[in-house]
Amino acid sequence: MTSTTFSSLPLSLEFLANLESLEYTSMTPIQAQSLPVILKGIDIQAQAKTGSGKTAAFGIGLLHMLDAQTYLTQALVLCPTRELADQVSKEIRRLARPIANTKILTLCGGTPIGPQLASLEHQPHIVVGTPGRILKHLQKGSLKLDHLKMLVLDEADRMLDMGFYDDIMLISEMLPIKKQTLLFSATYSEQIKNISNAFLKDPVDIQVESLHDDTKIKQVFYEIQKNDRTKTLISLLEKYQPESSVVFCNRKQQCQELADDLWQRGFHALALHGDLEQRERDQVLTQFSNKSSSILIATDVAARGLDIKDLNAVINFELSPDPEIHIHRIGRTGRAGNAGMALSLFMASEAAKVNAIAEYQGIPVNIESASSLKSHENFKLIPPMVTLCINGGRKDKIRPGDILGALTSNTGLPGNRIGKIDLFNTQAYVAVEYPIAKQALKILTEGKIKGRKFRIRKL
Ligand code: ADP
Ligand code: MG
């Protein structure tokens, strides 16, 4: 029987105290099975479901072997998307708090290369990024990995889905032979085996039950009539009133149409899909995570790897034809032990998809009739917060405290009614409670931040 307490691992007291402050009281199954092996320096290939805590599994492993006194790049984490890379960096930063001066750099495509080149003038300890951009830096010589000690391939199957096979193989040829490699993937395919043969030495195989334990996720399928999708969706929002939900569609065009439609009906719904520009994506994710938008409408590609805290519900507006993708989707709710809901709409003609899911899960599905759902004409799901957008950011040397100060000092607005503050290079976003949004907008518009006037608008 493997122990599930972090203190059973050879970690320093400071490190354990930090885990406790993150409220990581015990190891998740993947952590309990993989960490003892990782900490011994052995290669692993691990298979585990979404939300099982893989990031901390490799994050703790790589911080443990890191020599923070030596300013050389010692660990590389490859991720499929920029969002995922950002989340991994964030998690590693939180885990690294007890280790002074740990430098972590995120290198992804879709952002200008100039600032990345500047950041690479001093070697970071840890690099997290997407394969295309990492390869580019390796080929340019801007990223030096001669002293790499650990390589992590996170969501390897997703990286392959996104067409990164060749890039990953080219990267592998440019890395030192002697290093530890950790490969994480939800599924195994021929290509994954090729990758694992190219990268791993005598790996230990780790598998954690890949299906969700149904007590955490309440899953219901609703049979609908043709043309009743939007109406049923709204009834479900009324019935369950989820504070945060992701609604899945199969195509990006459908996402946008549904978002526009819900918006017209007075819902704060935002679409997340591949056609958005980076700034639009940041804006959508910021509003969703600070609770000023309660409905995120996404395609599978766009939502890949997102770890959004406190997701109350996943709603399948359209069923995925692939039962494995269905499992990925619903894995976004009920994370790390919280209760979640997965609600799926289907038409009688799609019964085969429902059966495929039931078979894949190995448990019968719970089907209810959509006609029993009630809805009221004027129902609105009002998010608890409102986002104000400021046309200044890190480049203007604005810090979160400056914004909080502008809102609360000598204004009568209490700090506890101000929510998350997100800073980007040229923009900042602050969430404020819905009832004080007007007042906050007025204060910021008429006042100054760091002695300067900024343009403020309500999103
Ligand atoms: P995965 O990469 O397997 O999909 P993540 O690493 O994103 O999952 O973890 C999912 C969530 O669980 C994150 O919010 C993370 O902070 C949290 N988490 C990870 N390990 C623990 C733990 N031991 N105890 C409590 N929460 C944890
Ligand atoms: Mg992950």
Q: Where are the beta strands (DSSP E) in 139-255?
A: 150-153, 180-185, 204-207, 217-224, 245-248
Q: Where are the beta strands (DSSP E) in 49-177?
A: 75-78, 104-107, 126-129, 150-153
Residue 59's pLDDT band (cuts 50, 70, 90): very high
Q: What percent of the chain has pLDDT over 70?
A: 95
Atom of ligand 1 nearest to the CA of 6: 23
- Pick the ligand that lies closest to the CA of residue 55: 1
Q: Could you tell me the CA-to-CA distances from 27 to 5, 24, 56, 153, 252 in Å, in that order?
A: 6, 7, 9, 21, 37
Task: For residue 309, give the ligand 1 atom closest to its CA.
Answer: 14
pLDDT at residue 218 in the model: 85
First to last CA, the chain: 52
Is the C-beta atom of 55 inside 6 A of ligand 1?
yes
Q: Decide: 388 and 437 in contact? Cβ < 8 Å.
A: yes
Q: Which amino acid is at 365?
A: V
- Asked whether 50 lines ligand 1 (CB < 6 A), one says yes
Confidence of residue 309 (pLDDT cuts 50, 70, 90): low
CA distance 18 to 284: 31
Kindly tell me if the per-residue pLDDT of 337 is higher than 70.
no
* Cβ neighbours for 70, distance < 8 A, ≥ 6 positions apart: 147
User: CB neighbours of 409 closer than 8 A, spacing ≥ 6?
Assistant: none
Q: What pLDDT, on the 0 to 100 scale, is given for residue 273?
A: 87
* Range in 93-107, 253-267, 323-337, 378-392 with the lowest mean pLDDT: 323-337
The helix or strand, by DSSP H or E, that contains position 268, with its residue range, turns out to be none
Closest atom of ligand 1 relative to the 87 alpha carbon: 7
Instruction: Note the pLDDT of residue 220.
Output: 94
Categorize the per-residue pLDDT at 214 as very low, low, confident or very high, splitting at 50, 70 and 90. very low
Q: Pick the closest to residue 247 from 217, 288, 210 (CA basis).
A: 288
Binned at pLDDT 50, 70 and 90, residue 335 comes out as: low
Q: Are 143 and 134 in contact (CB under 8 A)?
A: yes
Nearest atom within ligand 1 for CA of residue 307 = 7
Which range scores top for mean pLDDT: 201-210, 319-328, 339-348, 357-366? 339-348
3-state SS of 274-337 is CCCCHHHHHHHHHHHHCCCCCEEEECHHHHCCCCCCCCCEEEECCCCCCHHHHHHHHCCCCHHH
Counting ligands in written order, the one closest to the CA of 84 is 2
pLDDT over 50 at 361, yes or no: yes
Residues 323-333: tens digit of each pLDDT: 888 887 887 78
Q: Which contiguous run of DSSP H or E holds residue 387?
A: strand 385-390
Of 356 and 308, more confident: 356
Strands 428-433 and 418-423, sheet pairing? antiparallel
Tokens 């750099």: give the residue.
105
Q: For residues 207 and 48, give the distance between their C-alpha atoms in angstroms, rounded to a whole number.
A: 6
Round to whole Å and give the CA distance between 341 and 243: 12
Whether the CB of 27 sits within 6 Å of ligand 1: yes
Sign of the torsion angle spanned by Cα atoms 436, 440, 441, 446: positive
Domains and CATH numbers, the chain: 6-207 (3.40.50.300), 217-372 (3.40.50.300), 385-458 (3.30.70.330)
Task: Name the residue of 33, 184, 307 to mutate for ligand 1: max ligand atoms within 8 A of Cβ.
Answer: 307
Q: Which of 55, 308, 338 to mutate to test the pocket of ligand 1 (most atoms within 8 A of CB)?
A: 55
Ligand 1 close to Cβ of residue 335 (< 6 A): yes
Closest-approaching ligand to the CA atom of 4: 1
The dihedral sign for the CA sequence 243, 244, 250, 255: positive
Would the CB of 106 count as within 6 Å of ligand 1? Answer: no
Average pLDDT over residues 86-112: 93
* Ligand sitting nearest the alpha carbon of 77: 2
- What residues are paired with 46 via a beta bridge? 184, 206
Pairing of strands 385-390, 428-433: antiparallel
Partner residues linked to 247 by β-bridges: 297, 315
